[in-house]
């Protein structure tokens, strides 16, 4: 259960801070992640971005924070910055085809077709048999954008 006073205080501190969450325990960080995820799901992308931005600064090697940050930025159509987050996901979780796929989506939105096709190829190479639906999406996008 999220405590209202903690959330208000944490959001206030995060908004005025240029760095990570000040003096927060692991439990506080986990709670912030949960709050950020809830805000993302309800469409409050502004507050979710604030939380995830601070979490990636505070724990820069935690891939789930980069994933969440990339998803928020992409949902806000901030594709250039989302690419930075997806690039970090690719570095931290190199074999995950979804990181490369989301980077490709951003490249496509920016009309950077050669980079998008490279990212789609990297995603396809990493797909396992259980990820057939993703592989099919990749193939459709490759066919669509290779002709442009």
Tokens of 139: 């193939």
> Rounded to the nearest 5°, which phi and psi values hold at 25?
-80, 170
**The pLDDT of residue 20:** 47
- CA dihedral 127→130→134→138, nearest 10 degrees, is 40
Question: Are 115 and 123 spatial neighbours (Cβ–Cβ below 8 Å)?
Answer: no
Distance CA 132, CA 76 (A): 28
* Tokens standing for residue 88: 């970090």
- Based on its alpha-carbon atoms, the radius of gyration of the chain, rounded to whole angstroms, reads 17
Total-model pTM? 0.83
CB of 142 within 8 A of CB of 116?
A: no
Contacts of 148 (CB under 8 A, 6+ apart): 113
Is the separation of the CB atoms in 114 and 85 below 8 Å?
Answer: no
Q: What is the pLDDT of residue 13?
A: 58
Q: What is the pLDDT of residue 8?
A: 54
DSSP letter for each residue of 15-77 = HH-SSS-TT--HHHHHHHHHHHHHHHHTT-HHHHHHHHHHHHHHTTT-HHHHHHHHHHHHHTT
Mean pLDDT per block of 10 residues along the chain (148 residues) reads 47 55 76 96 96 91 96 98 96 95 97 96 95 95 85
Q: Please count the other Cβ atoms lying within 10 Å of the Cβ belonging to residue 102.
A: 23
């Amino acid at each position: 259960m999220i405590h209202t006073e903690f959330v208000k205080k944490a959001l206030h501190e995060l908004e005025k801070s240029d760095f990570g969450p000040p003096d927060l325990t692991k439990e506080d960080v986990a709670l912030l992640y949960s709050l950020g995820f809830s805000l993302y799901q309800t469409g409050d992308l502004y507050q979710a971005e604030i939380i995830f931005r601070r979490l990636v600064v505070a724990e820069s090697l935690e891939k789930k924070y980069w994933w969440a940050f990339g998803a928020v930025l992409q949902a806000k159509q901030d594709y250039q910055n989302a690419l930075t987050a997806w690039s970090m996901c690719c570095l931290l979780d190199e074999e995950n085809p979804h990181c490369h796929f989301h980077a490709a989506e951003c490249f496509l939105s920016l009309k950077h077709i050669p980079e998008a096709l490279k990212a789609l190829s990297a995603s396809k190479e990493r797909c396992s048999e259980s990820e057939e639906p993703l592989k099919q999406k990749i193939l459709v996008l490759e066919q669509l954008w290779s002709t442009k």
